[in-house]
């Protein structure tokens, strides 16, 4: 039974896989994920466009952004990105950097658990057989 390190409506992180359900289902094997990093997205998200549209429709565009409690620039999406099978992939995206860091921390814990289980298999002499079985599945 895999250990779950993080779970919400869109993401599940276990000691074997990183699974994303939205916008389209993707399952990434932890052993193939490399170089996880957090980057600013640099493009407005749907939430940013929604807020901008709501502010302009009520005439709040005349209110300066700092006075309205908003950052001066557009809200930026924060991305958790990694390399997978030779390609750059986005694992998680949010305008809340704390959420992105929480998912990243959970992913790091899952990496550590995965490495520990592989070390146990290797010490017991089952690592090669396990990898053959895993490739067949």
Query: Can you spell out the DSSP letters for 20-42?
Result: E-SSS-EEEEGGGEEEEEEEE--
Q: Is the alpha carbon torsion for 37, 71, 44, 97 positive or negative?
A: positive
- Bridging pattern class, strands 17-20 and 11-14: antiparallel
> Residue 105: what pLDDT?
94
Mean pLDDT of the chain: 77
Higher-pLDDT residue of 18 and 136 is: 18
pTM of this structure: 0.64
Position 13 pLDDT exceeds 90: yes
What tens digit of pLDDT does each residue of 78-103 get? 999 999 988 999 999 988 889 999 99
Burial class for 36, CB neighbours closer than 10 Å (0-12, 13-18, 19+): middle
> Residue 76: what pLDDT?
76
Position 62 pLDDT exceeds 80: no
Higher-pLDDT residue of 42 and 47 is: 42
Contact 95, 77 (CB under 8 A): yes
Mean pLDDT across 104-120: 85
Pure H helices in the chain: 46-57, 97-124, 127-136
pLDDT band for position 6 (50/70/90)? very high
Q: Where are the domains of the chain?
A: 4-33+97-136
């Amino acid at each position: 039974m895999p250990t779950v390190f993080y779970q919400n409506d869109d993401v599940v992180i276990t000691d074997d896989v990183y699974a994303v359900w939205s916008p389209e289902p993707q399952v990434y094997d932890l052993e193939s994920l490399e170089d996880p990093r957090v980057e600013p997205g640099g493009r407005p998200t749907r939430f940013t466009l929604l807020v901008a549209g709501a502010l302009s429709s009520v005439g709040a565009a005349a209110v300066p952004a700092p006075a309205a409690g908003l950052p001066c620039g557009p809200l930026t999406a924060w991305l958790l990105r990694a390399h997978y099978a030779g390609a750059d992939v986005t694992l998680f995206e949010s305008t809340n950097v704390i959420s992105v860091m929480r998912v990243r921390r959970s992913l790091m814990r899952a990496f550590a658990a995965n490495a520990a289980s592989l070390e146990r298999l290797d010490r017991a002499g089952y690592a090669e057989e396990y990898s053959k079985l895993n490739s067949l599945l």
